[in-house]
Amino acid sequence: MSEEDSEKYRAPALDKGLDILELLASTDGGLTQVEIAKAIGKSPNEFYRMLDRLVRRGYVQRQDGDRFFLTLKLFGLAHFHAPLRRLVSFAAPVMRDFANKAGQACHLAVYDRGSVVVIAQQDSSTYWALSIRVGAQMSLFNTGSGHVLLAFQNDAQRDRMIAEQLRGGNEDGVPEGLIERLDEVRDNGYESMNSLQTAGVRNISAPVLTVDGTALAAITCPYITPMNSKAPSAEDCVILIRKAAAKISEIAAGQ
């Protein structure tokens, strides 16, 4: 399309909305209405209604009075379309390989608007395992997958995820010691914690990372201690799940 045709089919209102989204996506810490106006070269009155609609539709969040942040809604929409299906297809053979080597089940989860959502699940190669159904929604605060998804984010992104979780109805607030725990998870490169939902299960989780080190997904093994002494231990499964996560990360990043 020529530049003349491009101008012929302009949609000024849509352009304003995209300008705002693109600006906020490239900014940590949010921007005030005045700062947005200065950055895109328009007066606040020119885009006030557009900014208000973006807030009402959930793409932008207003905090601290007059400061606006991009939410994760676009992230969620993107990952529940074709890219999500591609991620599942990339991960499936790696997850099967893990299940065969570990003798344990595993599942893949992503963040979506205040919840951890399971998008793929692989049964164990043995008789006994704990499986999580695809589509199940879980908390960011008390699951291995949630800890990993929170740990491998920048501070601004993590704060927005926590705020969305709280708005989703978590009446108990942020658990004591969570932030310190997330720092440990990031330093270690994985989470290994007793399940807070099922007795006798240990959640072993590792991040699927983008090229910038942000968690795109989390792969988790709900580890059940086998009676067979020759079966892989929890420590063995930590190594295996981290290798699986690294492999999926490489494939997803095209490396």
Choose the weakest-confidence range: 53-57, 177-181, 238-242.
53-57
220 phi, psi to nearest 5 deg: -130, 135
| pTM of the shown model | 0.68
Whether residues 248 and 128 fall in one domain? yes
- Single-letter amino acid code for the residue at 168: G
Of 171, 153, 167, 168, nearest to 210 by C-alpha is: 153
The reply to whether 56 and 113 lie within a common domain is no
Q: What is the CATH number of the domain that holds 49?
A: 1.10.10.10
What pLDDT is attached to residue 145?
95
Residue 2 pLDDT? 45
What average pLDDT does the segment 7-31 reach? 80
With CA atoms as reference, report the closest residue to 244 among 200, 171, 189.
189
Residue 189 pLDDT > 50, yes or no?
Answer: yes
**Over the stretch 124-160, which tens digit does the pLDDT of each residue have?**
888 776 778 888 888 899 999 999 999 999 888 898 8
Alpha-carbon distance of 31 to 54, in angstroms, equals 14
Band of pLDDT at residue 3, cut at 50, 70 and 90: very low
Which residue range(s) make up the domain with 10? 3-70
Based on the fold, state whether residues 152 and 83 are members of the same structural domain. Answer: yes
